[in-house]
Structure 1
Amino acid sequence: MTIHEAVKAYFEPKVEELVGDILSFNFSPESRDSFALVTNYSGKIISEYVNGDKKKAYGFAIVIVKNYSTDGDDLNLQCMNFVQSFMEWLETQNRQKRYPVFPDNCKIEKMEVLQNMPNLAGVNTESGLARYMVQCQITYKEIESDLLGL
């Protein structure tokens, strides 16, 4: 399983639980309650060690499309709170060290949300939809040595 597949597989059950839909990969549909995983970088080297091991980063955004209102109601606030609660779930996963299953030569150090609130990445007032974006990063060590880090 590749790292892309591992990250997608990790988020799929949560997306199914929250909205009963599939998680799109590198494509964000223009439909209510859609979730997409959009990669930013993969295998970005943060540091290298003398034994050949490397600290790397996998960057991605979770894009969530929700309803949008131009009325004076609380719909936009409710949608922002929904996305914020997803971010809190991600932070809990990191604290509890519940990570995607990467290849055997990789050890995840942390999975972090890179912002303290979702970005409102776009609004389509004609269709009544808003696109929220949550930037994330997984930092991991790729073990190249024969002793697998020992």
Structure 2
Amino acid sequence: MKPLIEVVRDFIKTCPYLPEFESGVKQIGVDFLGEDPETYVVESMPVDPVVKTYVNGDAEKQFGFIFASKEYYGRDAIINIENLGFYDNFALWLTQQTMFRKLPDLGGERTALSMEATLTPYLFDVDPDASVARYQIQCVLKYFEPAPEQPGM
């Protein structure tokens, strides 16, 4: 089974709103965001992993993550609006993928139930020279996981 952060990263790479880079591959880091503009990252976010447990041991679980990027930033309102607009489109894309059941394969017996933004996108940090900023959106992947089998059965 792939780690959930890898599944989420691979899934986000399929988002049509992400720009293609020189190599034709969408570059998204994990827990590390470079200093350059137009770089992206997926970071794990602390959440209670168990949403609901059933009497037979099956569970609905969740994996919280932040999707962030460094973007050009400044006094030009149009650039800043475009930055937030990208994240609005990303959140809509997650909603559409959930609605049309086009969610990632989690491997093993885990089944994705939904992926959604949990907060609106926001400006998180501005570099000291005020020309590049970090924008981010918090999201959650909810999934079903059957009860583990007893050893020796």
Judge same fold: TM > 0.5, yes or no.
yes
**RMSD between aligned residues:** 2.2
Q: Which residue of 2 aligns with 1:84?
A: 88
Q: One-letter code of the match for 1:114?
A: T
Is 2:127 the counterpart of 1:124?
yes
Farther-moved stretch of structure 1 (100-109 vs 37-46):
37-46
When you count helix as a share of all residues, which structure comes out higher?
A: 1
State the alpha-carbon separation in 2 of the partners of residues 83 and 136 from structure 1: 11
When you count strand as a share of all residues, which structure comes out higher?
A: 1
Change (3 A) 1:43 1:10: farther
Per-residue deviation, residues 15-51 of structure 1 (Å, max 9, x unmatched): 8952424100011112111110000147711121111
Check whether the contact 2:74–2:130 (CA below 8 A) recurs between aligned residues: no
Query: Of 33, 56, 66, which residue of structure 2 is paired with 1:28?
Result: 33
Unaligned 5+ runs, structure 1 = none
Unaligned 5+ runs, structure 2 = none
Q: Please state how far the C-alpha of 1:114 moved relative to its aligned partner.
A: 0.5
Once the two structures are superposed, the pairs formed by residues 1-150 of structure 1 within 5 Å of their partners are: 1-14=2-15, 17-20=18-21, 21-41=26-46, 44-70=49-75, 72-115=76-119, 117-126=120-129, 128-144=131-147
Farther-moved stretch of structure 1 (19-28 vs 38-47):
38-47
Check whether the contact 2:58–2:146 (CA below 8 A) recurs between aligned residues: yes
The TM-score with structure 2 as length reference comes to: 0.82
Aligned-pair identity in percent equals 22
Farther-moved stretch of structure 1 (77-86 vs 16-25):
16-25
The TM-score with structure 1 as length reference comes to: 0.84
